[in-house]
Chain A
């Protein structure tokens, strides 16, 4: 038996899609930080690019963010991620804004079949990608990104309460109203 804590770190599971930050470039592999106790690896053969050993820095450098899928996790929790799965939106993330919430809150932010995040996307006209590890990428006009960021922080804070969806509708309505300059 197990319980899900309200917060805690992320542990990679196979087939999870995560957002990670490249922190080291080796001759044929990138080391990626996915906000877990364990760093993960991305091998050059697991990318859609034509890479050559020793010059993979051209494609991804330290500080870049990737949206990748966990390919494998072994018994000592070493893991490898991949960008080479067509049709799933795996890629290097360019531009946008990165924020972090504890991984156990992620299901609440996505909502039932994505209802919560879709609501935020529609209301703020932003593009949002949520990694299972709690890193979130938001792209759009700066003021919209700020609203989306605020909305996600609100969900994080109140993840364990009921009636959150209704309050979110309220919040988004109000926030959008203020942007358009017609505060009630």
Chain B
């Protein structure tokens, strides 16, 4: 963030490095039910991001001291593969991934009806196979789809998007170059039905007006991504129904 560079992130026509306008999203594709052994799973391709999410549970929580006698606990683990970034990432949890695991767990806990499953844990494994900025939001978006695929009762899906500031312009859905060399990055995740914010972080700096504008952009884009999520969940059943008709 804010590393000086001579890359021109926005050209004279107002287009970004990958040819997008300020308010344009990268292409998103979500697939569910990609893993046989998991109770629920999802795979999301969002621009250059490729993230696999597996959900197990609700199942008895181990070690036993992590159990809550009144409700389930969500244990999300965000992990980046060693090969997910240009320079090899040292495997294993680090400061960043521990933090992201926590904020994602907290976000998911706000939509799942935890009190229905006392003493259990719901394990969410988020594996980033290829990273291209915005992985926490992409991972969280896919995780909520995987939870729905697992048949876990929820108030709503969670959906998010990032916005940021690049060359003094507020832009939507930063890519890797914009994330590395831009001025600010603001990931937002919401519950689409109520518009409650369940995750909000910021790296870099923006003025109050800029934050308002970035939040508006991100929330509007999230509602579009919400449609992708619902589509992904329905698609599986449509395809079986169609096979039968033939």
Q: Does chain A bind chain B?
A: yes
A27 on the B face (CB < 8 A): no
Residue numbers in B under 8 Å from A167 (CB-CB): 244
Closest to A102 in B: B151
| C-alpha gap A158/B241 in the complex (Å) | 8
Q: Given that A37-B60, A37-B117 are contacting pairs, would A76 and B240 also be in contact in the complex, using a CB cutoff of 8 Å? A: no
Q: How far is the CB of A11 from chain B (nearest CB, A)?
A: 8
Tell me the total A-B contact number using a CB cutoff of 8 A. 50
| C-alpha gap A9/B122 in the complex (Å) | 12
B58 on the A face (CB < 8 A): yes
Instruction: Check if B241 sits within 8 Å of A160, measured CB to CB.
Output: yes
Interface size on B, residues (CB 8 A): 18
Contact pick for B237, options A3, A102, A104, A160, CB 8 Å: A160
Residue numbers in A under 8 Å from B39 (CB-CB): 7-9
B48 on the A face (CB < 8 A): no
Instruction: Check if B241 sits within 8 Å of A37, measured CB to CB.
Output: no
Instruction: Check if B241 sits within 8 Å of A161, measured CB to CB.
Output: yes
Q: Given that A5-B151, A76-B118, A161-B240 are contacting pairs, would A37 and B59 also be in contact in the complex, using a CB cutoff of 8 Å? A: yes
Q: How far is the CB of B80 from chain A (nearest CB, A)?
A: 30
Q: How far is the CB of A100 from chain B (nearest CB, A)?
A: 13
Within A1-53, the residues touching B (CB, 8 Å) are 2-3, 5-9, 37-39
| C-alpha gap A160/B239 in the complex (Å) | 12
Within B111-125, the residues touching A (CB, 8 Å) are 117-120
B182 on the A face (CB < 8 A): no
Residues of A bordering B, CB below 8 Å: 2-3, 5-9, 37-39, 75-77, 102, 104, 157-158, 160-161, 163, 167
Residues of B bordering A, CB below 8 Å: 39, 57-60, 69, 117-120, 150-153, 237, 240-241, 244
* Given pairs A5-B151, A8-B151, A161-B241, 12 additional interface contacts (CB within 8 A): A2-B153, A3-B153, A8-B150, A37-B58, A37-B119, A39-B60, A77-B118, A102-B151, A158-B244, A160-B241, A163-B244, A167-B244
